[in-house]
């Protein structure tokens, strides 16, 4: 996989007449992990969905600004092709009612990847998330897996397409702590391989997985910077309050 620089430049967004984002400027450098923090309804999920053009599937959605992948305006890229380059994993660990192997290969089949290369990528992706040895019989139904394994499977399905960026929308929200720890470990292991933009469940998770963090509040970017700097010396009172669990 080759990672890409992902940049949101001057992004404002609306659902109908309701503005949900205002002039967002955000850059994720190649091979790094950036965590979006913020209270519920801050706009984190919308930012991720804009990054691979899923948001536009809602007919009421409007957006201004540009999303750039290594400098290329993603508005000029076919959405299906873009989503292979910018993969996404959602908060609920939803596997298809198919075998483990077929789940990981699903996007590869749609992309026209041949059987030999498919098999290689399935193994590679399952190894990356720690499931290859854990599930020796890849013909078992994904429905038989626990929630944590299903979420790792969803990440493997995205990684099999060898994306240049990966979007993770609160991927541990519905998981038990032990499963969440496994997912966080996988996220950390992806550094240097793929660019990751994750909306974090809480500030502590952002601190564990991210190279840089950004705080959103009411659709506005409050502050962003290296994780250590933001956590030890936040500039904005809203960031200080959020990190102190006093965000209002």
Q: Is the pLDDT of residue 59 over 80?
A: yes
Q: What is the Cα–Cα distance from 58 to 49, expressed in whole angstroms?
A: 11
Q: pLDDT class for 145, splitting at 50, 70, 90? A: very high
Structure tokens at 14: 């609306």
> Alpha-carbon distance 124 to 192, whole Å?
16
Q: Which of 242, 241, 173 is nearest to 203 (CA)?
A: 242
Give pLDDT, residue 1: 61
Domain coordinates of the chain in residue numbers? Answer: 6-97+163-243
Q: What is the pLDDT, as a whole number, of residue 75?
A: 95
- Can you tell me the distance from the alpha carbon of 107 to that of 115, in angstroms, rounded to the nearest whole number? 13
Tell me the HSE value of 224 on the side-chain side, using a 13 A CA sphere. Answer: 18
Q: Determine the Cα–Cα distance for residues 104 and 242; give it in Å rounded to an integer.
A: 37
What CA–CA distance (Å, rounded) separates 53 from 234?
A: 32
Class of residue 167 by CB neighbours under 10 A (exposed 0-12, middle 13-18, buried 19+):
buried
Is the pLDDT score of 2 beyond 90? Answer: no
| Residues pairing with 91 in the sheet | none
How much of the chain is helix, strand and coil, in % rounded to 5?
40, 25, 35
Q: Is the pLDDT of residue 160 over 50?
A: yes
User: Which residues lie below 8 Å from residue 117, measured CB to CB, with a gap of 6+?
Assistant: 108
What mean pLDDT comes out for the span 27-47? Answer: 96
Q: What is the mean pLDDT of residues 99-123?
A: 97
d(CA 83, CA 130) in angstroms, rounded, equals: 24
Q: How confident is the model at residue 247 (pLDDT cuts 50, 70, 90)?
A: very low
CATH number given to 6-97+163-243: 3.40.50.300
pLDDT of residue 33: 98
For residues 62-78, average pLDDT: 97
| pLDDT at position 246 over 70 | no
What is the pLDDT, as a whole number, of residue 248? 44
Residue 201 pLDDT class (50, 70, 90 cuts): confident
pLDDT band at 27 (very low <50, low <70, confident <90, very high): very high
Contacts of residue 132, defined as CB under 8 A and 6 or more positions apart, other chains included, come to 123, 126
Q: Global pTM?
A: 0.95
Position 245 scores a pLDDT of 75
Residues 149 and 243: their CA atoms lie apart, in Å, by 30
Pairing of strands 165-169, 195-199: parallel
């Amino acid at each position: 996989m080759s990672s890409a620089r992902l940049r949101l430049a001057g992004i404002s967004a609306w659902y109908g007449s309701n503005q949900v984002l205002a002039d967002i400027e955000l850059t994720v450098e190649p091979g790094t992990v950036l965590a979006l923090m913020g209270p519920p309804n801050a706009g984190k999920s919308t930012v991720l969905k804009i990054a691979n053009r899923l948001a536009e599937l809602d007919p009421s959605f409007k957006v201004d600004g540009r999303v750039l992948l290594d400098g290329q305006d993603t508005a000029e890229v076919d959405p299906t092709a873009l989503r292979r380059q910018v993969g996404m994993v959602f908060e609920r660990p939803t596997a298809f009612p198919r075998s483990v192997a077929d789940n990981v290969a699903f996007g590869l089949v749609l992309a026209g990847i041949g059987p030999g290369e498919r098999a290689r990528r399935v193994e590679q992706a399952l190894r990356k998330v720690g499931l290859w040895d854990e599930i020796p019989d890849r013909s078992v139904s994904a429905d038989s897996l626990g929630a944590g394994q299903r979420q790792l499977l969803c990440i493997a399905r995205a990684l099999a397409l060898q994306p240049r960026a990966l979007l993770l929308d609160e991927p541990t929200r519905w998981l038990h702590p032990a499963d969440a720890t496994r997912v966080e470990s996988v996220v950390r292991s992806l550094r240097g391989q793929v660019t990751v933009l994750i909306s974090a469940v809480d500030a502590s998770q952002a601190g564990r997985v991210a190279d840089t963090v950004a705080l959103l509040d009411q659709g506005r970017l409050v502050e962003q910077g290296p994780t250590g700097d933001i956590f030890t010396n936040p500039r904005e009172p809203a960031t200080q309050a959020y990190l102190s669990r006093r965000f209002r």
